[in-house]
């Protein structure tokens, strides 16, 4: 299997031969930062275009088809438009918090990229508590949303922010419990070790029914945490204008818009890593011939293929299901998903203790 360790080690050794350790560390951090920002920009353009095309497919229409080939430059044109739009702050708003909120949301999204293994040896930071890190850092994003809604001094923004806070705090519990299922199966919170534990089969297959239940709950709870339809109460256009970012314009609005799609990519990447093997090829037990053929496909292709499959599922949800009422949203979590998650956790403990998984 090809590993990115060879590339990163050769770059590190070359830099170490040219300068001191402090300069090497600063340059490597700058390289990682530039790559992360470039990935953000590329994903923002790609996922917005994909969203529009998937929506058009679901609604039997064409979608963007005029700017560039098949409309591929439409999102670039929209980005240029947002760059030149005036940034407006309401007179009665809290200027510091109003300007800081979109920055916080973007920073949280960037921090979540750190432990995700994109391929073998291609990871920003291999932390041994990766699952806990993702659960902890992702919960900070709601602070940016609450900050934006309150500082705008707009009743629609405040209502949207409060809805988002209640929604995210509620569904974080079910999402976290679904991640604990895979931690119990693999015996580790390191995302790298979780991927390596799936060398002989992905957990969604070899974890039996508990893993499948956890996967379904993770997708539902993740969709709610992203504030995407059918759980888009934080920015319900028919009720709250644009919700928590009603007063935002220009690039500050674009940062919220970009953060939604980056968080969707991260959520899909986490789901692909924990349940679908991450960059690990599809292997079945002792079928060495089949497994050897699967190893020819590059790791980054496996990872991106699984991630974009889950992104498509999330977009499919958005353009298929109608929006729930807010009481139905909370009922779904506290009366159904939460009890099922707790029962599933007990079932996983029994399966792991008895060794009933593959």
20 and 134 share one domain:
no
pLDDT in tens, 142-199: 899 899 989 988 888 888 888 888 888 889 999 999 999 999 999 999 999 999 998 8
**CB atoms < 10 A from the CB of 228, how many?**
21
13 and 131 share one domain:
no
| 22-31 CB contacts, 8 Å cutoff, 24+ apart | none
So what's the pLDDT on residue 200? 82
User: Given pLDDT bands bounded at 50, 70 and 90, which one contains residue 87?
Assistant: confident
pLDDT of 269 higher than 90:
yes
Determine contact, residues 183/257, Cβ cutoff 8 Å. no
Angle between helices 250-275 and 208-225 (to 10 degrees): 180
Least confident of 302-306, 311-315, 350-354: 350-354
175 and 28 share one domain:
no
Average pLDDT value for residue range 289-303: 87
Q: What letter would DSSP give residue 93?
A: S
So what's the pLDDT on residue 357? 66
So what's the pLDDT on residue 73? 92
Give the domain range for residue 7.
1-35
Question: How much of the chain is in helix, strand and coil states, percent to nearest 5?
Answer: 70, 0, 30
Distances (CA, A) of 261 to 202, 222, 257: 26, 13, 7
Q: What letter would DSSP give residue 247?
A: T
So what's the pLDDT on residue 126? 86
Q: Which residues of 137-171 are buried (b: 16+ CB within 10 A; e: fewer)?
A: bbeebbebbbbbbbbbebebbbbbbbbbbbbbebb
So what's the pLDDT on residue 53? 94
> Is residue 44 a part of any domain in this protein?
no
226 and 349 share one domain:
yes
Q: Which residues have CB under 8 Å from 212's CB, separation 6+? A: 204
Determine contact, residues 101/95, Cβ cutoff 8 Å. no
Structure token pair of residue 281: 């090829």
Query: pTM of the entire structure?
Result: 0.92
27 and 137 share one domain:
no
pLDDT in tens, 22-71: 888 899 889 888 998 999 889 999 999 999 999 999 999 999 999 989 89
169 and 93 share one domain:
yes
24 and 92 share one domain:
no
> Is residue 48 a part of any domain in this protein?
no
Rounded mean pLDDT of the chain?
A: 88
What's the CA gap between 39 and 46, in Å, rounded?
10
27 and 91 share one domain:
no
3 and 103 share one domain:
no
Average pLDDT value for residue range 248-275: 91
**CB atoms < 10 A from the CB of 99, how many?**
16
In the chain, how many domains are there? Answer: 2
């Amino acid at each position: 299997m090809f590993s990115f360790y060879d590339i990163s080690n050769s770059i590190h050794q070359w830099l170490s031969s040219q300068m001191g350790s402090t300069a090497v560390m600063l340059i490597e951090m700058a390289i990682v930062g530039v790559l992360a920002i470039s990935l953000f920009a590329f994903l923002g353009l790609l996922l917005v275009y994909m969203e529009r095309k998937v929506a058009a497919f679901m609604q039997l229409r064409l979608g963007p088809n005029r700017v560039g080939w098949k409309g591929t430059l439409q999102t670039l044109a929209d980005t240029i438009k947002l760059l030149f739009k005036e940034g407006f702050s309401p007179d009665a708003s809290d200027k510091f918090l109003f300007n800081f909120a979109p920055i916080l949301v973007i920073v949280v999204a960037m921090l979540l990229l750190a432990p995700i293994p994109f391929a073998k040896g291609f990871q920003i930071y291999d932390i041994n508590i990766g699952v806990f890190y993702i659960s902890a850092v992702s919960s900070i994003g709601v602070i940016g949303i609450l900050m934006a809604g309150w500082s705008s001094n707009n009743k629609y923004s405040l209502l949207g922010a409060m809805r988002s806070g209640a929604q995210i705090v509620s569904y974080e519990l079910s999402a976290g419990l679904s991640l604990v299922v895979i931690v119990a199966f693999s015996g580790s919170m390191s995302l790298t070790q979780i991927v390596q534990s799936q060398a002989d089969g992905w957990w969604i297959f070899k974890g039996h029914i508990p893993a499948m239940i956890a996967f379904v709950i993770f997708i539902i709870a993740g969709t709610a945490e992203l504030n995407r339809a059918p759980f888009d109460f934080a920015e319900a256009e028919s009720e709250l204008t644009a919700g928590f970012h009603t007063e935002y314009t220009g690039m500050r609005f674009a940062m919220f818009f970009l953060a939604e799609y980056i968080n969707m990519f991260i959520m899909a990447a986490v789901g692909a890593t924990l349940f679908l093997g991450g960059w690990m090829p599809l292997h079945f037990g002792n079928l060495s011939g089949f497994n050897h053929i699967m190893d020819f496909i590059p790791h980054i292709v496996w990872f991106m293929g699984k991630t974009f499959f889950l992104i498509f599922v999330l977009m499919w949800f958005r353009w298929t299901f109608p929006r729930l009422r807010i009481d139905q949203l909370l009922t779904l979590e506290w009366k159904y998903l939460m009890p099922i998650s707790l029962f599933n956790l007990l079932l996983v403990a029994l399966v792991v203790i008895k060794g009933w998984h593959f």
